[in-house]
Amino acid sequence: MELLWFILAAFGLTQILIYGKIFDAWRPEKHSYNGLGEIFHCSMCMGFWVGVFLFCINGMTELFSFDYTVANLLICGCVSSATSYVLCALFDDNGFKKTVNIIRDQK
């Protein structure tokens, strides 16, 4: 259950930081800071750093608790990145995204 809380918290915070209107004034452009601004427009990139942040503050919450090790820090970052990316690909403001991919033969 702790992992589920972690994933939901990571996805929620990632969504707020990338898409929240409240951060529009502070969110840098994609190509600013020698390309580091891309972090604020990518759910996979921001998801990783949100996971690292949540890992660092996990001692202050009762929702999830992980031992403070470098391995757990990297695992939390990777889990957050992957789940944030997948959930952002599946959902938008209107619920499930409705996309149709047509694969054509390239002969």
Average pLDDT value for residue range 76-99? 87
Residue 78 pLDDT exceeds 90: yes
User: For a pLDDT cut of 90, what percent of the chain falls above it?
Assistant: 57
Average pLDDT value for residue range 31-55? 92
- Per the structure block, which two tokens stand in for 37? 């601004």
Q: Give the pTM.
A: 0.83
pLDDT value for 102: 59
- Give residue 18's region: left, alpha or beta (phi > 0; psi -120 to 50): alpha
Residue 47: exposed, middle, or buried by beta-carbon count in 10 A (0-12, 13-18, 19+)?
buried
Identify the band that residue 97 occupies on the pLDDT scale cut at 50, 70 and 90. confident
